[in-house]
Amino acid sequence: MLPKLPPLRPAAIAARIDAAPNLVTLFLDRADEQPAAPFLVAKVGGEWRTISWGEARDIVASLSAALTAAGINQGDRVVLVSENRPEWCLADLAVMAAGAITVPAYITNTEADHTHILTNSGAKAALVSGPKLAKALLPAAMATDNCRTIIALEPVQDVQGLAIHDWSKLIAGRAPMLDEDRAALKARATMKREDLACIIYTSGTGGLPRGVRQHHGAIMRNIAGAITVIEQDFFPGDVPGELFLSFLPLSHSYEHTAGQYMPIGMGGQIAYAEGLEKLASNIEEVRPTFMVVVPRLFEVLRMRIAKQIEKQGGLAITLLNQALAIARKEARGESLNLAEKLIDQALERTIRKSIRAKFGGRLRAMVAGGAPLNPEVGIFFTAIGIPILQGYGQTESGPVVSCNRPRAKLKMHTVGPPLDQVEVKIASDGEILVRGELVMDGYWMNDAESHKALKDGWLYTGDIGHLDKDGHLVITDRKKDILVNDKGDNVAPQRVEGMLTLQDEIAQAMVYGDRRPYLVGVVVPEVEWALAFARDKGLPADLHKLKDEPEYVRTLQAAVDRVNQKLSVIEKVRRVIIADEAFSTDNQQLTPSLKIRRHVLKQVYGERLDKLYKD
């Protein structure tokens, strides 16, 4: 059983965040108020272990002093390469406490990726979790002129020319901080809200990553706006101690802000998941109250839950169908009749109760961001009693711009109204523009791109959308991703791809057809379905050989044709090819936040897709 936190007042929290000068002070204030309260939780040796707020403060103080002693000065950049773990958070705070600037890097980065980031940022030092990630980082550090200091959380091999420090030795022997020590640490945190906190490199859906300059105020404005949503929609009174389960990469701005600094601002706990394969068991064990996730995870969970219910058969399937029918009716804005209300109450005591237990039983909401969420997926989770709030944003906006509100009518086809103190307007060509403290200062060392993105105080997001009559933001697509057919009609590919992946047979998809007469696409078959198909037909369980089976190909095309029946003429996907392998971060076809990299997929499959127009 994880320890509980005392209740908090969210209105006071949001106001305090708005008044705080920087993220370090925000953390230190919380640590001073509740030094013995649990803060960071991770599994070590099969057991969940906790670091208190006071312990975390002492580690941050020791590490920041060590960084200063190693020659890290005000404004220096420090790269951070690590899996999600307590040390990630502690290192991030220590870098900032030393007056330096954190540069998070993805654990999937290649040596070339690290070389680009180290060189572009001019980083003077780097923190790395251990030998596995050091293999790509250390050669990159050697190839640069500036990065000569490495701090390793776990021992790594010495490299001539690099000063490698052991994390445990840097923080060893620290004594509990005295009042004057705490005052001195806080006094050194002189950063202002407008000062640079971190440089977060975009995950590169369309090319070389750019460094987004996020200042302290951008992140704090984000978390204050999000906490206002929590205050108004979840807790009219005190907020019980909240527990966030950290799963998405902390190097992504979404998890960095909402999964790390939001619980810090609330004085809550952060538990670190052990990975995707253990996520389900971790959820049951730590019983989180909030999680931030990406739509791809929802799609995977939806398929797993649906298959489990299908295996149960009979009553379970009937209950699911009833829940879906009610959720769809509510999504259309229609009132439930008396019989439906009674059924809804029965569903609360049966299928929803059992599913919520699988999610720990305390989950208030899962917040989706990073990519569009198909409305049908949102309706499915609403039907089974797992609240989903779809948000919208990008790294350049801190990152959250808007979020659906539970107290208002949940519109699954929208990303909700803008957060507090965030302005949104729509340009004449449909592009979404954003203004407020949350907007970045610009791109690091890239004035040309900064001037394109920032004009007269407005961030030009590159996304297309509109505001509905209730002030909810509706996203159509990425401006650069919009396909224009040979007749000049615009097609939003993400909508079509989202509908394709709702089919049981299709796990992933990308559609193609810019300046072409119609759309074609590449699909990744759903593995369990494909293996079941092979078993039923007496075929070898070899996914590569299945691609040569005509009936297998026809069945996948039939799934595409089912989707085509719901699409307009210009959106229909006439033909598809089967992918050689799943889109993943390992093959560079997905970003670390699990969005497809269209430019990579076009390089791999472009010639075969073009051939579909000739055959």
3-state secondary structure (DSSP) of residue 54: helix
Query: Do residues 33 and 155 share a domain?
Result: yes
Query: Do residues 381 and 506 share a domain?
Result: no
The verdict on residue 219 lying in a domain is yes
Residue pair 363/386 in contact by the 8 Å Cβ criterion: yes
Query: Do residues 508 and 571 share a domain?
Result: yes
Query: Do residues 55 and 90 share a domain?
Result: yes
3-state secondary structure (DSSP) of residue 572: coil
- CATH number of the domain within which 151 lies: 3.40.50.980
The verdict on residue 398 lying in a domain is no
Q: Which residues of 377-408 are buried (b: 16+ CB within 10 A; e: fewer)?
A: bbbbbbbbbbbbbbbbbbbbbbbbbbbbbbee
Query: Do residues 63 and 200 share a domain?
Result: yes
Q: In 445-586, which residue ranges form alpha helices assigned H by DSSP?
A: 447-453, 493-500, 527-536, 543-546, 550-564
The verdict on residue 204 lying in a domain is yes
The verdict on residue 393 lying in a domain is no
Query: Do residues 51 and 166 share a domain?
Result: yes
Query: Do residues 217 and 97 share a domain?
Result: yes
Q: Which residues pair with 198 in a beta bridge?
A: 102, 214
Task: Decide which of 237, 256, 272 is a domain's last residue.
Answer: 272
Residue in 82, 25, 94, 110 with CA at minimum distance from that of residue 58: 94
The verdict on residue 281 lying in a domain is no
Task: Decide which of 330, 357, 386 is a domain's last residue.
Answer: 386
pLDDT, residue 345, reads: 93
The verdict on residue 489 lying in a domain is yes
Task: Decide which of 342, 360, 386 is a domain's last residue.
Answer: 386
Query: Do residues 268 and 202 share a domain?
Result: yes
The verdict on residue 1 lying in a domain is no
Query: Do residues 149 and 230 share a domain?
Result: yes
Query: Do residues 498 and 370 share a domain?
Result: no
pLDDT, residue 180, reads: 76
Written as one letter, the residue type at 301 is: L
- Structural domain tally of the chain? 3
pLDDT, residue 174, reads: 63
Q: What is the phi/psi pair of residue 338, to 5°?
A: -60, -45
pLDDT, residue 122, reads: 97
| DSSP conformation class of 144 | S
Query: Do residues 65 and 193 share a domain?
Result: yes
Query: Do residues 248 and 333 share a domain?
Result: no
pLDDT along the chain (615 residues), means of 10: 50 84 95 94 94 94 91 96 97 96 93 94 97 96 94 93 92 72 81 97 70 97 90 59 90 94 94 90 92 82 86 89 91 89 92 89 84 81 87 93 80 88 94 97 94 95 91 83 78 88 93 91 94 91 89 94 91 94 91 84 93 86
- CATH number of the domain within which 605 lies: 3.30.300.30
The verdict on residue 229 lying in a domain is yes
CA angle, 411 then 367 then 103, to 5°? 135
Q: Enumerate long-range contacts of 10-17, CB under 8 Å, 24 or more apart.
A: 10/227, 10/228, 10/230, 10/231, 10/235, 10/239, 10/266, 11/231, 13/227, 13/231, 13/239, 13/265, 13/266, 13/267, 14/224, 14/227, 14/228, 14/231, 17/220, 17/223, 17/224, 17/227, 17/265
Q: Which domain holds residue 333?
A: 298-386
The whole-angstrom separation of Cα 496 and Cα 462 is 19
Element at 373 (helix H, strand E): none
